[in-house]
Amino acid sequence: MIGFLSDWGTRSYYVGVAKAIIYSINPSAVVVDLTHEITPFNVREAMHILYRASRDFPKNTVFLCVVDYGVGTSRKSIVMKTTNDFIFVGPDNGIFTLVAEKYGVREIREITNPSFMRREVSHSFHGRDIFAPTAAYLDMGYPVEDVGPLIMGYEELKYMRATSMSNEIIGEVAFIDTFGNIETNIEADLLKKMNVELDSQLVVKIGKHIEKAVYCRTFGDVKKGQLLVHEDSSGYLEISINQGNAASVFKATGGEEVRIRSR
């Protein structure tokens, strides 16, 4: 199975062409689109979404990940194999920071073997010419070591790891979903360890904006238009408005500091 993530959108032909390359090499491939709606160039957003989405995939999945603002430059094209038997293919620009941290790294290799690329490699479409064919071959069972030499490190994105202190939790906005819900990188267990009970009042600060919210199970536990904090389906705290847009209230776009404290 190949899990495919990009910032290409669906209006262009890029996704279709990359899939055509995969199927021309490996007609029996199963390609699952994680999303192609990553905010353009937003590696931080892709890093968070890739980790959360990957947790529902079976062992030996190959992840084709193309958010590649540095295409054609000196940045490396890499394959990362993690200790849980996932394989990640994409640019070495920090996109694999979280999966490496959460799963552990078994090996990393730079893609240099021409046999894993299209015959002609463009300067601006490595998603089609390098990453898609490499993913196709690896999904067929070709050894990871054949793609190129071992490298000892990878680019890591700096981000604010979630921490807790007395009655406050600090983290960051991971990304904003389609509904304007603010997805944080704060694991819900941190709030539970503070013994905060459901229906309790919380104070949420994102950037300079401070609002009161209710800690509850789900959207419908509060009135329409009311701000809430709940554990999302991935086990992280989500800041939402029932049938509203929380991101617009806090003017959040991603990467901002989040502080949540009990009253």
Domains of the chain: 2-146 (3.40.50.10790), 163-262 (2.40.30.90)
**With bands split at pLDDT 50, 70 and 90, how would you rate the model's confidence at 197?**
confident
- 3-7, 50-54, 191-195, 209-213: segment of lowest average pLDDT: 191-195
pLDDT at 183 over 90: yes
For residue 237, the model assigns a pLDDT of 97
Mean local confidence (pLDDT), 249-256: 96
* Residue 180 or residue 166, greater confidence: 180
Query: Could you give the dihedral angle defined by the CA atoms of residues 10, 82, 155 and 157, in that order, rounded to the nearest 10 degrees?
Result: 70
For residue 87, the model assigns a pLDDT of 98
Q: Are strands 236-241 and 182-187 parallel, antiparallel or unpaired?
A: antiparallel
Q: What mean pLDDT, rounded, does the chain reach? A: 96
Spell out a b/e string for 171-191, using b for 16 or more CB atoms within 10 Å of the CB, else e.
bbbbbbeeebbbbbbbbbebb
Q: 222: Cβ–Cβ under 8 A, 6 or more apart, which residues?
A: 214, 216, 228, 242
- 30-34, 36-40, 190-194, 241-245: segment of lowest average pLDDT: 190-194
Mean local confidence (pLDDT), 55-74: 96
Mean local confidence (pLDDT), 116-143: 96
**With bands split at pLDDT 50, 70 and 90, how would you rate the model's confidence at 212?**
very high
Mean local confidence (pLDDT), 18-40: 97
pTM of the predicted model, to two decimals? 0.94
Both tokens assigned to 155: 């680019």
Token pair 């078994």: residue: 106
pLDDT at 263 over 80: no
**With bands split at pLDDT 50, 70 and 90, how would you rate the model's confidence at 152?**
very high
For residue 127, the model assigns a pLDDT of 96
pLDDT at 68 over 80: yes
**With bands split at pLDDT 50, 70 and 90, how would you rate the model's confidence at 129?**
very high
